[in-house]
Amino acid sequence: MGEINKVVLSYSGGLDTSVILKWLTEVYDCEVVTYTADLGQGEELEPAREKAASMGVKEIYIDDVREEFVRDFVFPMFRCNTVYEGEYLLGTSIARPLIAKRLVDIANETGAEAISHGATGKGNDQVRFELGAYALKPDVHVIAPWREWELNSRESLMDFCEKHQIKVDQKHQSEKSPYSMDANLLHISYEGGVLEDPNAEPEESMWLWSVSPENAPDVASYIELTYQQGDVTAIDGNDLSPAEVLAHLNQVGGANGIGRVDIVENRYVGMKARGCYETPGGTILLKGHRAIESITLDRELAHLKDDLMPRYASLIYNGYWWSPERLALQALIDNSQQYVNGTVRLKLYKGNVTVVGRESRTDSLYDSHVVTFEDDAGAYDQKDASGFIKLNALRLKIESKKGRKLC
C-alpha cells in the first residue's frame, strides 16, 4: 500500500462518521475530505458542514443530487419493474452507486489516494461502495474502519468521542431511534433493535413516512400518471421533474398507507437479515409502469424483461451497477421503452394501489376490434385456432403415444 495523504470520507456528521473522521487522521495521519449527499433523506445537511469544519476539515463537499438520483438511477431501475426477492424495491441499494461515483469524482478532483465509508463488515453496503469505486477508479485505496478498528459497540464509540473531545449531541443521541435507518427519496429502511427477532411485530411508532392502512382515509385518492418512454413526466396533468414526481408520490402514497413491507432478505455476504421498508412512491411507480407496459409492450418483449428482471435486481442489490452486464441489460431495457407512452389512472386506498385505467393513444397494442366478444367483422378468424392448437399439441401427442407418463 502506498502512502495515503488524503482520504475522501462519505460523511453524515453522526456518531459513526465523526469517529471515523478522527480515527482516519490518527491512524493514517492524513487529511480528510468529507462528502455528504443530499438524496432527499429529509435532514438538514448544514450541521454536517459545521461539524466537519469544527473538526478541522478544510475541504467539505455537500451535493444536492436528488434529481440525478431519480433521473439516472431510480427511473432506469423502474423501467425494468425491478424487485429483489419478490418484495424489496432496492431503496438503499440504488443509492450506493451514485455515492461511490461522487466519492471517486471528488478523489480525482482533490488528488486523494483513498476513499472511506462507514459501512460495517456484516452488510451489503461495503460491497456496493467498494465495487463501484474499484470499477470507476481501479487503483483507489478503500479504507473501511469497521473492518479494521476495535470499536465494536456504541459505548466504545462514545468513549472514543469523550477521549478525543468530539462533540456529540446528547439530546439527539437519547432521542435516536433504536433502529439502524437509511433514508432517501425512494425509501426509508429500518433494521436492528427488536427487528432482529423475525417473529416480533414492529411497533406502529416505528413507521415515519406512512399512516397505517387501518388509519388511512376512508375515501380513496385517484391519481393519473403520464409516461414518456417508460418514465413518469407528469401527475394529474402537471409536468414535474423526476425528483418532484417521487416526492409527490411519497406524500400521497404515505397518506394512504401505501408502501410498507417487512421482509427477511438474503444478503450478498451470506446471512439472512430482517428489514422493514417504507417505499410509498416506488410502490406506486411499479404498479403504474406495469400497467402502461401491459398495453404498449409486445408480449415476448414483456416476458423477456420479466425473465431478466431477477438477474438485474440481483446486480443492483449486490453492488454491480457499474458493471458491463448491468450496462448491457440497461441498453436492452431502455430500448424496450421507446413505445411505453401514455397515461395510467390509479386508485389509492388503505394500503392498496389499484389500476383503474390505462391509455396510449399513439402506442397501444390493445385492439378492441380483435378482442371483442361481440361481432368483430372478420378481424379474427376463430377457425385459425384449430390448427394452432393441433401444432402445439403435436409433441405432447407423440410422447403420449410412446407411452411416456405425463401425469
Q: What is the pLDDT of residues 9-54, one digit of tens each?
A: 999 988 889 999 999 999 999 999 999 999 999 888 998 999 999 9
Q: Map residue 196 onto helix, strand or coil.
A: helix
CB atoms < 10 A from the CB of 31, how many? 18
| Neighbour-count burial of 122, counting CB atoms closer than 10 A to its CB (0-12 exposed, 13-18 middle, 19+ buried) | middle
User: Which whole number is the average pLDDT over 314-334?
Assistant: 98
Annotated active-site positions, please? 16, 96, 125, 180
User: Which whole number is the average pLDDT over 82-108?
Assistant: 98
* pLDDT at res. 178: 81
- At 169, the pLDDT band (50, 70, 90 cuts) reads low
Per-residue pLDDT of 353-386, as tens digits, reads: 999 999 999 999 999 989 989 988 888 999 999 9
Domains and CATH numbers, the chain: 6-78+89-176 (3.40.50.620), 183-297+339-359 (3.90.1260.10), 368-401 (no CATH)
DSSP conformational letter for 213:
G
Per-residue pLDDT of 175-224, as tens digits, reads: 456 888 899 999 999 999 999 999 999 999 999 999 999 999 999 999 99
Give the mean pLDDT of the chain: 94
Per-residue pLDDT of 233-257, as tens digits, reads: 999 999 999 999 999 999 999 999 9
d(CA 178, CA 182): 13
What residues does 374 pair with on adjacent strands? Answer: none
* pLDDT at res. 405: 86
| Neighbour-count burial of 39, counting CB atoms closer than 10 A to its CB (0-12 exposed, 13-18 middle, 19+ buried) | buried
Q: Say which amino acid occupies 250.
A: N
DSSP conformational letter for 84:
B
d(CA 278, CA 280): 6
